[in-house]
Amino acid sequence: MTHCHHGHFDVQPSPGRSTDSLAIMIIRSKMYLDTLFTMSLLAIPTFAFDCQFTSSSIKYDLIPLGALRTASKDTPTQPTTSKAQASMSLCSELEWQDGIADEDQCPEHTIVCLTLVNHKESADPKERVTAVVPIWKTDTSNDRIWTEPLGRNGQDGVRISVQGNDYSGTSQHLNLTLLCDDSATDPNPTFISYSGGYLSLEWATPDACPRSGDTYDDGGEDSGGISLWTLIKTLFWLLIIGLIIYFAVGIFYNHQQYSAKGWDLLPHRDFWRSAPDILRDLFSHLFANVRGGGGGSRGGYNS
């Protein structure tokens, strides 16, 4: 509506137009929050096995074994030869391999992967990948990973057992036996067997010996998987996601229920407005207690 006052015009905004603008703003805000939420989910890192761990109060450091390692075994299956090859990156995840077709690559976020290959001399090509099986993935929970010292005080090495996910209806398992041998030089493990979803590898290496003199923080007793730092980072990202969901749902609810706008859209608006004052009072109170406690201790002794 337009009104004329003393030679100039005042344009009054239409209530309908204001409501439409607010609705557009809310929709855009919700889309933005949804995008942030999705990005936060994608940004949550997946964590591989912690190669520094304690098992039965015995410390091990397998970081030197963390590079790409392979082990294979050929089995005659006339008129072909079947080859099973295990790829392992113990302290991280397997990387994309050059020269291998995309469909033959190990899945992302995999620590141990098994590739089954069929070889026939008269065929073209001679080798054909028949299965790519992720045995151990980085998101395997800690309660599905077991470490067991071997021998007295772990002097013979350590065994790592993993219960993986299903593949084609068969549960996958890993039995990795690391033997403590100061004279061993083999850079790769030995392929023992793969049958019924159970993969067995064995590796004699000096790095499987206990590290009794190490002082690293292993995150607690019998830690065979996720470290304390990993837990802290995971909790941080869960907190961020929780806040995003809280604000998104609160803003949407306040708009739909009360037609709120501006600051009124924030859930628990009064709390967030007073939060800086609350924090300031809290830190002032703590600081005063610290200073008061220090002063009391200095004046508590009278000769």
**pLDDT score for 266:** 80
- CB distance 228 to 219 below 8 Å: yes
**pLDDT score for 215:** 40
Nearest by Cα to 218 from 230, 233, 235, 205: 230
Which amino acid appears at position 7 of this protein? G
**pLDDT score for 224:** 46
| pLDDT tens, residue by residue, 157-175 | 999 999 999 999 999 999 9
**pLDDT score for 188:** 97
More confident residue, 219 or 265: 265
Segment 98-113 mean pLDDT: 93
CB atoms < 10 A from the CB of 76, how many?
Answer: 8
- CB distance 46 to 138 below 8 Å: yes
- Here the tokens at position 60 are 């091990």
DSSP code of 142? G
Distance CA 55, CA 65 (A): 18
Q: Which contacts (CB < 8 Å, 24+ apart) does range 237-246 have?
A: 237/40, 237/43, 237/44, 237/45, 240/40, 241/37, 241/40, 241/41, 241/44, 244/33, 244/36, 244/37, 244/40, 245/37
**pLDDT score for 28:** 56
**pLDDT score for 249:** 87
- Here the tokens at position 143 are 């309660």
Work out the end-to-end distance of the chain between its first and last CA atoms, rounded to an integer number of angstroms: 87
Distance CA 78, CA 11 (A): 90
**pLDDT score for 218:** 43
Dump strand ranges (E) for the chain.
Answer: 2-5, 8-11, 52-55, 58-61, 69-77, 80-88, 110-119, 127-137, 145-150, 157-167, 170-180, 190-195, 198-205
Nearest by Cα to 111 from 133, 140, 97, 90: 90
The set of residues, in sequence order, having a beta carbon less than 8 Å from that of 6 and lying 6+ positions away, is: none
pTM: 0.58
More confident residue, 127 or 272: 127
Three-state secondary-structure class, residue 273: helix
Distance CA 255, CA 302 (A): 65
pLDDT(299) > 60 = no
- Please report, rounded to a whole number, the percentage of residues in the chain having pLDDT higher than 70: 74
| pLDDT tens, residue by residue, 171-212 | 999 999 999 999 999 999 999 999 999 999 999 999 999 986
**pLDDT score for 276:** 85
Confidence class for position 18, pLDDT limits 50, 70, 90: very low
**pLDDT score for 4:** 45
Residue 205 Cα to chain centre, angstroms: 28
Segment 229-255 mean pLDDT: 85
Round the average pLDDT of the chain to a whole number and report it: 80
Segment 149-155 mean pLDDT: 94
**pLDDT score for 280:** 86
Distance CA 196, CA 268 (A): 56
Instruction: Return the top range by mean pLDDT from 7-21, 33-47, 240-254.
Output: 240-254
